[in-house]
């Protein structure tokens, strides 16, 4: 949290610090909008603070994010977000500048969304008997936004890279394609979050291209990818599987049945490429386990509840 507060204008950071500990310790987002009340959210519930954000606040925030050099923000302004130390992501909104029909940058920034990256070391432990059975299983994690998909994926990557003598799991080479800088939260290519020693990351790289690059250059045993769903992703998935690499990835959706209806994913699902499907929800907070399914989409027995850790 201190990494985030260091970027905020003084008056805003003071308002955040005044929040009750239960909100502060579970906060998921801080939304800053010019001429609008300061907003924070926790467990999916918004709270509006008695402070109206000014243009001066936004200017101070931009200067801190850019380290007082707007040129350093050019690439991030094209993507619409910037990753700061600690792996936190700041979403940006304002006037879009187009070039040849594509987004070139965002100017006149008026909205900022700090998405707070929280590590939960060990949350993958309950799943290991399903995910690892002498070898890691091809696994797809399914969930709507903010259901804990990336948090779980990150911890799985940590376990694969570190291994576990207690569970008889050897440390393996892990390749992460982190297109949105959310899994590892890299700053200047260095992950800001906890991983084991055998991790190689392609930060801010398109997923399909990144998977092929890692296969050719780093020979990973396992590939970790977040939010698949494009046609080129499906092609790269099949290439990776044919190369003998285990895939563990996430996709947006509420259920296995829902994602089966997507033409792009249907072909892969019909081939039973993935051996496990894990459905998450926010019913009891991020990380609530809905179902654990096998390759055919049949439910496996798993104690319902929220991932602990």
Domain with CATH 3.40.50.300 in the chain: 125-306
Tell me the per-residue pLDDT of 123-169, one tens digit each, with 9 for 90 and over: 999 889 989 999 999 999 999 988 889 999 999 999 999 999 999 99
Selection from 234, 225, 293 nearest residue 266 by Cα: 234
What is the reported pTM? 0.84
Residues of the chain with CATH 3.30.450: 2-115
Mean pLDDT, rounded, for 166-177: 96
CATH class of 125-306: alpha beta
Helices marked H in 80-206: 128-131, 149-162
Task: Give the DSSP per-residue string, 42-70.
Answer: ETTEEEEEEEEPPHHHHHHHHHHHTTT-G
Please write the tens of the pLDDT for every residue from 43-86.
889 999 999 999 999 999 998 988 745 556 777 777 888 888 88
User: What is the distance of C-alpha 251 from the center of its chain?
Assistant: 11
Domain 2-115: CATH architecture, name and number where available: 2-Layer Sandwich (3.30)
Q: How far is CA 50 from CA 6, 34, 222, in A?
A: 21, 14, 48
Average pLDDT over residues 250-260: 93
Least confident range of 68-77, 84-93, 96-105: 68-77
């Amino acid at each position: 949290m201190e990494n985030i507060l260091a970027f905020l204008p003084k008056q805003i950071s003071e308002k955040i610090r005044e929040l009750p500990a239960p909100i502060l310790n579970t906060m998921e987002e801080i939304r800053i909008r010019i001429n609008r009340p300061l907003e924070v959210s926790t467990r999916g519930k918004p709270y509006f603070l008695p402070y109206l954000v000014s243009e001066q606040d936004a200017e101070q925030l931009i200067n801190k994010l850019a380290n007082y050099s707007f040129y350093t923000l050019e690439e991030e302004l094209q993507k619409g977000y910037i990753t700061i130390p600690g792996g936190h992501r700041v979403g940006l909104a304002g006037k879009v500048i187009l070039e040849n029909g594509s987004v070139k940058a965002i100017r006149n920034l008026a909205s900022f969304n700090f998405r707070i990256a929280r590590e939960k070391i060990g949350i993958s432990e309950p799943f290991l008997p399903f995910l690892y059975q002498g070898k890691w299983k091809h696994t797809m994690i399914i969930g709507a936004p903010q259901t804990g998909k990336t948090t779980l994926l990150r911890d799985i990557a940590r376990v694969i890279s570190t291994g576990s003598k207690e569970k008889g799991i050897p440390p393996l080479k892990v390749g992460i394609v982190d297109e949105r800088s959310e899994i590892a939260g890299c700053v200047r290519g260095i992950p800001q979050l906890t991983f084991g020693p055998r991790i190689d990351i392609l930060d801010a790289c398109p997923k399909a291209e990144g998977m092929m690059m890692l296969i050719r250059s780093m020979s990973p045993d396992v590939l970790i990818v977040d939010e698949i769903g494009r046609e080129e992703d499906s092609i790269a998935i099949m290439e990776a599987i044919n190369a003998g690499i285990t895939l563990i990835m996430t996709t947006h959706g509420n259920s296995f049945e829902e994602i089966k209806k997507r033409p792009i994913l249907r072909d892969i699902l019909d081939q039973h490429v993935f051996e496990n499907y894990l459905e998450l929800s926010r019913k009891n907070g991020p990380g609530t386990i809905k179902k654990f399914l096998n390759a055919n989409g049949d439910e496996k027995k798993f104690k319902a509840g929220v991932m602990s850790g």
